Amino acid sequence: MTRCPALLIAAPASGQGKTTITSALARLHTRQGRRVRVFKCGPDFLDPYWHALASDAPVYQLDLWMTGEADCRARLHAAATEADLIIVEGVMGLFDGEPSAADLAVRFGLPVLAVVDASAMAGTFGALAFGLQHYQAGVPWAGVLANRVASERHAGMLARSVRDPKHFMGAVMRNPAMTLPERHLGLTVASEVTDAMERLDAAADALATTSLGQMSVADLQHWAVDFSPPVAETVITPTLHGTTIAIARDAAFCFIYAANLDTLRALGAELVFFSPLADQTLPKCDALWIPGGYPELHAQTIADNTSLRDSLAAHIAVGKPVWAECGGMMALFETLITTDGVKRPQWGLLKGEVTMHKRLAALGPQQLHLASGILRGHTFHYSTTVTSLEAATRTTPPNTDPMPDAGEALWVQGSVRASYFHAWFPSCPEAVVELFS
């Protein structure tokens, strides 16, 4: 066992400010010279950018289904061996999803700190905190933090509403300076926000005035957790040794799990990165990965980069593999139609058109059955695609067999495999080898 203070920061719903508070707490302790490791519950790409900036350390996902209990256990134990504090940000509401953030807290004994947007409540704040604490048996409880509070008087009303005073972790006042900017898929990527660190510092300063923010490392020992080591080490055969994989990475294609890069390296691949927005040609490579992101925000730039399109076409013409996920797939089609009806030509390497919508088109955990095994992952997109291509197979919800008309299509054309499906590579390294071979 390795012992380390840990918190799971949750909320009664999305939009309460738990990402800001998680990053603020990480930034506060990192500024004080402590080693902080942050994790994100669920298949989120965007929040980890802020947590990584705040903690100056890589951020990994924890999900009892997608990443699996063994993977979660191994990552938490590894973090505990080197960190002074572990912070896990929950997903949606505390009890939302199967499995939920509460399930993760119970499984690993993570004390839960609830962040509640208290801007429109007083006494009900205490009732909500009591319900979150007691709704599911066995959830370890750290306390509740009031967010977006109007005044000191308001803060006093909220504090008095909590049944056990020691569970009130303080009040964070409304402050536009600490707001993290959002867009249609979630938070804006931290690297695109010019004053990102200033926002994190403002949030850390605000949190420093609360009971939570004033805790020392000795105080945090009240929330120390024993993290057991993994039952067995995961051994990955370097089957891709000698293979160079080029990975698109820029403002348009940025949905990349750190664990996916780790898996490719463990498989022996050499990774090189390029920008489809700025580079004229692909780097020298044997295979290509175009991850998801925001091609719809850069559609004209993508269309104008005909030199890169020609380089992609040459790569495909000689049969070199391409794995295109979600936004990466969208750019391969002929046309992208924006939410206001404007048609933008894209690379035109797959037949069909993509239409953006103002509402989610798909969301949830998915798995992809390949000849080499089953890749776990998820889907999350605001667009739909019309194409003459026939689906080679389709993803399915967890623990179900492939069905002809359900899930996300896997389109295969020559050496190109493309889907809205976002894969978690550590779930099946053998299938990853298949994608890039």
Which class for 342: exposed (0-12), middle (13-18), buried (19 or more C-beta within 10 A)? exposed
Give the number of other Cβ atoms within 10 Å of residue 355's Cβ: 17
pLDDT digits (tens, 9 = 90+) for 42-91: 998 889 999 999 999 999 999 999 999 999 999 999 999 999 999 999 99
Contacts of 206 (CB under 8 A, 6+ apart): 24, 172, 173, 175, 178
d(CA 248, CA 291): 7
Q: CB-hemisphere CA count at 13 Å for 397?
A: 6
For the chain, the farthest-separated pair of C-alpha atoms sits apart, in whole angstroms, at 70
**Residues of the chain under the 50 pLDDT cut:** 183
d(CA 182, CA 176): 13
Residue 184 is predicted with a pLDDT of: 54
196 and 50 Cβ atoms separated by less than 8 Å:
yes
Provide the 8-state DSSP code for 283.
Answer: P
Which class for 158: exposed (0-12), middle (13-18), buried (19 or more C-beta within 10 A)? buried
d(CA 219, CA 216): 5
Domains of the chain: 2-227 (3.40.50.300), 244-435 (3.40.50.880)
Contacts of 134 (CB under 8 A, 6+ apart): none
Catalytic residues: 326
* Residue whose token pair is 């990965």: 289
* Sign of torsion over alpha carbons 271, 248, 348, 408: positive
The candidate with the shortest Cα–Cα distance to 167, out of 126, 208, 224, is 126
Give the number of other Cβ atoms within 10 Å of residue 250's Cβ: 18
Structure tokens at 359: 């509402």
Q: How is the beta sheet containing 373-381 ordered, strand by strand? A: 362-370, 373-381, 422-423
